[in-house]
Amino acid sequence: MPRRASKELRPRQKAMLEFIRKFIEDHDYPPTIREIGAAVGISSTSVVNYNLDQLEQKGYIIRNREVSRGLRLVDSSFTRRTQNIPFYGEIAAGSPIPIPEDTANVLEYVAVPSDMLPGSGDVFALRVKGQSMIDALVDDGDIILVRSQPQVETREMAVVEILEPPEDAGATLKYFYHHGDRIELRPANPDPAYQPIFVSPEQVRVHGKVIGVIRRYQ
């Protein structure tokens, strides 16, 4: 276990440490570098990194630089076991957008508390682009956790790829409704700019069911 140095923390480092503690207490997962910087008034990510390195050297935190939100507190009752989940990029909460041609090319990994994940099945993460699901408490910039599965039930929130026509092709995040010979992809936003999409079952491919949301810090 890292050993704390006797040297006092600087005020900025104390503020960062207190923010990290409070953030984990409130959200059950650690903040990002940008969230830490915004909270203590530091715009430079390199300056935030420097001070996090100091906290690590002094034994207050442990960092995993390979994953987003990859830090934890030492000797803290707020820390939880996490798993690294593949992050594939953006998903549209609005008009469909193209999906990566090869999802084997993982952009990065996201550290997710283990108790947010199902007991079985593959899970991946996407960042939401748009506000069509805002009434479902999914906002622009949030990260959704998706269990990979080829089918979902009516009223479940799903990641769905529209295959045709080509001009409408792409992936979108919507509530999924079965209506016999057609599928409705329904938004959760009363703004008339967001309209449901109706397609035949042959025109869509389900990529998975949304099982969790990691809310960005304001």
Does some domain include residue 78?
A: no
Q: How far is CA 41 from CA 15, 17, 37, 66, in A?
A: 10, 14, 6, 25
Give the chain's domain count.
2
Report the C-alpha gap between 144 and 214 in whole angstroms. 6
73: its two tokens: 């507190």
| Catalytic hit among 68, 129, 132, 209 | 132
Cα–Cα distance for residue pair 94/59, rounded to 1 Å: 45
- Residue 28 domain boundaries: 11-73
Q: Which of 58, 129, 174, 209 is catalytic?
A: 174
What's 63's domain CATH number?
1.10.10.10
pLDDT at 83 over 50: yes
pLDDT (tens digit per residue) in 102-154: 555 666 888 887 778 887 888 999 999 999 999 999 999 899 999 999 999 99
Same domain? For 124 and 198 the reply is yes
pTM beyond 0.75, yes or no: no
What does the alpha-carbon distance between residue 61 and residue 4 come to, in Å, rounded to a whole number?
10
Catalytic status, residue 174: yes
φ, ψ of residue 10 to 5 degrees: the values are: -70, 155
pLDDT band at residue 57 using 50, 70 and 90 as cut-offs:
confident
Catalytic: 22? no
Residues 13 and 42: their CA atoms lie apart, in Å, by 11
Amino acid identity of residue 154, one-letter, is: T
